[in-house]
């Protein structure tokens, strides 16, 4: 097996040229710098089992507006650093005074990290075809370091999930995941994602997930009344996330036209 669980300071290799993320080099030797899973194939790197999201340019993330200032929205990106979304990075020209009409405190957005400078000033942008304001769906949170595992090798895991649960899933690099679909399907998808997060360090994950989804779907098909019981055994985290989603829906109910409508000129 070329993967193993390592602690900080564990010796990994003599070949410093292959040292990658999660490692450090001292006296010509490579050591692990975090507690996580080391892979020694090709590049030597250690994927941490926990830790905060550190933004990098090019990351797609899910953020929540926390403040509207003179010409910036300040966005919570689930990191030690806050994200700044400048008014000019909004897909169309708007006035300073109108900023909160388009994006207000509590709104969620899909955003792209445009730039991160050495003092960790994080600049976000909405100027991308794939990005939009989040109007409906559920947002759940997982450990950011598990995101690659959730996506799978060249997107295999997430594609499987989308297929099996019939949900549309957007995975932010910061560990926030947006799910849209039918309520029942969402429950299943959330369950599956939390399972992936919990068991990402155990081998044979994809097979286990395929089996899990089959079983769960079988249950759903046979006894739909079981749903009530499932509600009760939801984890605390899950409930919290649902609250977020519910709150979100409320916001959406209050104002009929979302940003897309406005963009398309439907509001006027």
Candidates 104, 115, 120, 214; binder of another protein (CB under 8 A) is: 120
* In contact, 188 and 214? CB cutoff 8 Å: no
Pick out residues in 188-207 that bind another protein (CB under 8 A): 198-199, 201-204
Q: In the complex with another protein, which residue's Cβ is closer, 179 or 213?
A: 213
- DSSP lists the bridge partners of residue 85 as 73, 124
Candidates 16, 24, 217, 252; binder of another protein (CB under 8 A) is: 24
CB of 67 to another protein, least distance (A): 13
* In contact, 59 and 33? CB cutoff 8 Å: no
The closest alpha carbon to 82, from 123, 118, 26, 24, belongs to 123
* In contact, 24 and 8? CB cutoff 8 Å: no
Is residue 239 involved in binding another protein (CB under 8 A)?
A: no
Token pair 């797609």: residue: 60
Is residue 175 involved in binding another protein (CB under 8 A)?
A: no
The closest alpha carbon to 113, from 48, 63, 56, 170, belongs to 56
- Gap between the Cα atoms of 264 and 246, Å rounded: 26
Is residue 25 involved in binding another protein (CB under 8 A)?
A: no
CB of 107 to another protein, least distance (A): 21
Stretch of 1-9, 66-74, 134-142, 248-256 contacting another protein, by CB under 8 A: 1-9
Is residue 76 involved in binding another protein (CB under 8 A)?
A: no
By CB under 8 A, how many residues form the interface with another protein? Answer: 36
Token pair 């560990």: residue: 175
Is residue 8 involved in binding another protein (CB under 8 A)?
A: yes
Candidates 12, 30, 44, 48; binder of another protein (CB under 8 A) is: 48
- Gap between the Cα atoms of 166 and 31, Å rounded: 43
CA angle 36–63–124, rounded 5-degree value: 100
Joined tokens for residue 9: 């300071």
Candidates 26, 183, 253, 254; binder of another protein (CB under 8 A) is: 26
Residues in contact with another protein by the rule CB under 8 A: 1, 3-5, 7-9, 22, 24, 26, 31, 33-37, 48-52, 54, 80-82, 118-120, 145, 198-199, 201-204, 208
């Amino acid at each position: 097996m070329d993967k193993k669980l390592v602690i900080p300071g564990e010796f990994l290799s003599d070949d410093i040229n292959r040292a990658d993320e999660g490692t450090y080099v001292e006296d010509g030797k490579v050591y692990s710098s975090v507690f996580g899973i080391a892979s020694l194939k090709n590049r030597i790197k250690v994927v941490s089992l926990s830790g905060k999201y550190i933004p990098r340019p090019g990351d797609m993330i899910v953020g929540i507006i926390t403040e509207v200032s003179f010409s910036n929205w300040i966005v919570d990106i689930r990191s030690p650093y806050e994200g700044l979304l400048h008014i000019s990075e909004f897909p169309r020209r708007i006035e300073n005074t109108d900023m909160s009409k388009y994006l207000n405190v509590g709104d969620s957005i899909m955003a792209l990290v445009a730039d991160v400078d050495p003092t960790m000033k994080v600049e976000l942008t909405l100027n991308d075809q794939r990005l939009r304001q989040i109007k409906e769906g559920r947002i759940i949170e997982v450990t950011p370091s598990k995101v690659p595992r959730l996506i799978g090798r060249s997107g295999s895991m997430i594609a499987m999930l989308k297929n099996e649960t019939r949900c549309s899933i957007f995975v932010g690099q910061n560990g926030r995941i947006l799910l849209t679909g039918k309520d029942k399907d969402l429950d299943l998808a959330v369950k599956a994602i939390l399972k992936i997060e919990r068991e990402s360090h155990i081998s044979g994950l994809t097979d286990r997930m395929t089996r899990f989804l089959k079983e769960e779907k079988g249950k759903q098909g046979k006894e739909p009344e079981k749903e009530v019981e499932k509600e009760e055994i939801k984890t605390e985290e899950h409930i919290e996330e649902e609250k977020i989603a519910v709150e979100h829906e409320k916001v959406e109910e209050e104002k009929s036209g979302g940003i897309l409508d406005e963009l398309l000129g439907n509001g006027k």
